[in-house]
Structure 1
Amino acid sequence: MSLNPYIKPKKGNTSFVMLDVIIALLPLVIAGYFAYGMQAMWLLLIASGCALATDVIFSALLLKQYRSALDGSAIVTALLLCFTLSPITPWYMVAFGAVAAILFGKITWGGLGKNRFNPALIGREFMAVFFPVVMTSAGIWATKDYIQTPATNLFPGLSNEYLSSYLSGLVYKTNGAMGEYSIALIALGGFYLLLRKRISWHIPLALLAVFFGSFWFIENGQNYSYSIAGVLLGTLFMATDMPSSPTNNYGKLYYGSMIGLVAFIFIIGKVSYEYMSYAILLLNGFSYKISEVFRPKVWGEKLDYKKRVEHIFYLTLSILGCTLAILSLHYYDMVSYLIYIYIAYIVLKFNFSFIKNITNPI
């Protein structure tokens, strides 16, 4: 007997959703090729191959699923992982990150759609913990000698040199991670996903408004360093990940706002490279609770506003408390222990909880 829904859209299944995400990311792949040629392409191919192989092998061995590679999620994870890395990241580290992203970000949660955390960011944090020297070194971002197509003035007709340079940087630049070479193309990809209704406007709008607005309320806010392209990439393609984000609109607005606020706190707390990664993963952990707090009113029942405000207050307090805890761990270089705890938790959860649902489904 098949389960509901009995009527399904022909182009609304997971494969078509992932295909749209891949289409939205393709312009960034092209920008990476223009910037660093095959240096960037090899890393994308290595990550994609390792992610696909891990998905196929472990989905079959652990989940008894034999068609998982066809959904396209492994390719999306591999692309997003590479887009957070330098183009000269050693290939074996990229392979390790791709395997960790699929195995510990997807498979051990039970497969596609069941993950509580964004798999690509899980893979990146595994790389940061197990290869800390390389991932935090300035040398990995010294990519000038590898540039294939240098940035140039794309608006020579403008009389204002500053405006011409600024607009050119929005369209194409060669510094930063592989997904940060074109703010315009990131925005174009996000706009495509909005048009295709693969993401909603709630999370991006709330996140960007709170993040950029927060710097207006502090002295010398313009002096803090962060990547606008990196923030936009995380906002449009990672914070909006459906399985790890809230399910209702008010929850999405709150979720986006808190990611923006937490990322802001991490930046003023001197978290240099991981501010968006930490913020998104932290709010991933509260996603289910946010959906519960902001769940729509049940038909026929009155909404207790006082109780909801109380729940939101304690939820916000919990998120800010965890933010300060992560800041403290980062300051003392102890974030790696969170990854070790995560590994232990997810392995135990899989062995003693999820595996029982496979062997004893009824």
Structure 2
Amino acid sequence: MTTAPHPAVERADLLIDLKRYEEARELLARRLAEDPEDIRAWVKLARSHLGAEKDGARALEATEQALALDSGDIGALTMHAHALRAAGRFPETEGVVREVIRLAPDHWHGYALLADWLWRIALVRSGQANGGEARREDILPALRESGELVREAIRLAPEEVYAYEVAQLIADMAGDRATAEQMDEAILRLDPQHEYALARWTGKAASAPGVNATRAATLYADGLASAPDSTPMRQGLDQASYRLLRGIRWLALLCLGLAAAGVDLFATDGQAQRELPLPLGQRLWDLVPMAVVWGLGALLRYRRLRAGVRVNLRALVRRRTWPRVVLAQAAWVMLCALLITQIPWTERTVPQVLFWAALLTTVATMWFDRRKGV
């Protein structure tokens, strides 16, 4: 029969959850001074040492004290395995976790933990045996056994997210994309706000063929609404936002082309070029298609974007250099287009120079800066 933890141990456990490790250790020290045979207090003390500072040596001391009191205590054995890993003795954890499974064959966590660690231990051993270079063939048997172990964990506890997390990672390491995606779907059914599964699903949807920048930005914004601290999704939103900004240059180049056409900048066979200077009415009329391009292509699209995407666009321009470069290039191209159409030129030499200056300086960087916004 399991004895309920002492109230002081329960309070220390809550303090550890709040990452107030020093307070938890002080409370546990007082409890162990009263009763040095309180196994749960020793286990929680080890857990407190495995917090932010990861003091594996002290955690090992605490778990060894607990196991000296009861070598078959499942909680103490499990924490001992974590302490061994933190102390740099990762391969030794395999035997400890297998002992956990032997003592508690009907409990899911031991299977999931061994599945999570077994292939990693094989990776470490392979690296040690081959001068620091791990070989894939050395970890394949461990991956297969890990797959069997995690399936048993899922059978025993089909509602536990950790088991599916391990299964997804194992499938991904084995190159089984279909199973990895199924595990992500299972994780999201149990935890719709799961940061990493949501980031993977969103990234897959956003990078699918035919998904434009607007749709990709919307997908990432929706994902961040559920997991606002997700770094991969923030990076994905930045990349999609940068793609949107890069599209502005195409609008500017379209306006440049309209400007060239408006003044018959280049001669074509069989057609006489317009006489220069163009009348004021014609020059003003050349502004109309440019206004339509920007009104429909930029302003209307911007207003239809999700609020989070609009905010990120502005933030991206403040935070990054290349988005500002893109906007400056679009402004430069538009300036040249306006100069070409609005000044009453009497010959086409200068407008042609402006045209090529705007076109070449922009096109020259469009491939190079493709991924510079992230």
TM tier relative to shorter chain: under 0.3
Q: Which has the higher helix share?
A: 2
Tell me the TM-score normalized by structure 2.
Answer: 0.22
Tell me the TM-score normalized by structure 1.
Answer: 0.23
Between Structure 1 and Structure 2, whose CA radius of gyration is higher? Answer: 2
Higher relative contact order (CA 8 A, sep 6+): 1
